[in-house]
């Protein structure tokens, strides 16, 4: 189970995805922890069993136990936050934005890894989940921490490709039944 196995499963009509998957992971300029945490968090967020099954072992091998747990935590907390904050943002009644959230989010304050790494993973998950408010919030934190736009873009490129690979392979699995 590996990146190569996942790439070989991608059908010919989605050759661009195969090439992009190899590129965004194999040629990424991100440090290993940022890269593999982003891969793991977005594989979880993609909701694709195939993608998660193939990428998780390689991510786990490239992350410390703390980073592995933190990447999973980023996917979990952002699954909640992206729905909550996206809904607040989309409602035409802006009074909801003044109400106390009342949701526990302690992991954001103490993720067990470098805060920038956790923010990057949260940002990438937010890209998949489509929460503009969360994207803006995490992007601002990342930029204030000194990350350049190219680095931030690396995270959402990974998210985009992993999401597309998951959608394609899950569709192929259904069509093969």
Catalytic residue among 120, 134, 155, 162: 134
Burial of residue 134 (CB within 10 Å: 0-12, 13-18, 19+) is buried
Spatial CB neighbours of 166, under 8 Å, sequence gap ≥ 6: 43, 46, 47, 48, 50, 51
Residue 30: closest CA among 152, 160, 161, 165: 152
164 is catalytic: no
Catalytic residue among 25, 63, 113, 131: 131
82 is catalytic: no
Q: Which residues participate in catalysis according to the annotation?
A: 131, 134
């Amino acid at each position: 189970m590996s990146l190569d196995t996942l790439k070989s499963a991608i059908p010919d009509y989605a050759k661009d995805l195969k090439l992009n998957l190899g590129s965004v992971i194999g040629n990424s300029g991100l440090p290993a922890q940022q890269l593999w945490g982003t891969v793991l968090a977005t594989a979880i967020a993609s909701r694709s069993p195939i993608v998660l099954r193939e990428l998780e072992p390689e991510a786990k091998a490239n992350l410390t136990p703390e980073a592995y747990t933190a990447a999973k935590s980023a996917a979990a907390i952002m699954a909640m936050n992206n729905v909550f904050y996206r809904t607040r943002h989309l409602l035409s009644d802006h009074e909801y934005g003044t109400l106390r959230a009342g949701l526990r989010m302690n992991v954001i304050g103490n993720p067990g890894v470098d805060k920038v790494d956790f923010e990057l993973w949260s940002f990438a998950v937010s890209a998949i989940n489509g929460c503009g408010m969360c994207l803006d919030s995490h992007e601002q934190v990342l930029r204030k921490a000194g990350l350049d736009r190219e680095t931030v873009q690396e995270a959402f490129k990974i998210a985009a490709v992993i999401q597309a690979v998951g959608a394609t392979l899950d569709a192929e699995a259904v069509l093969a039944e």
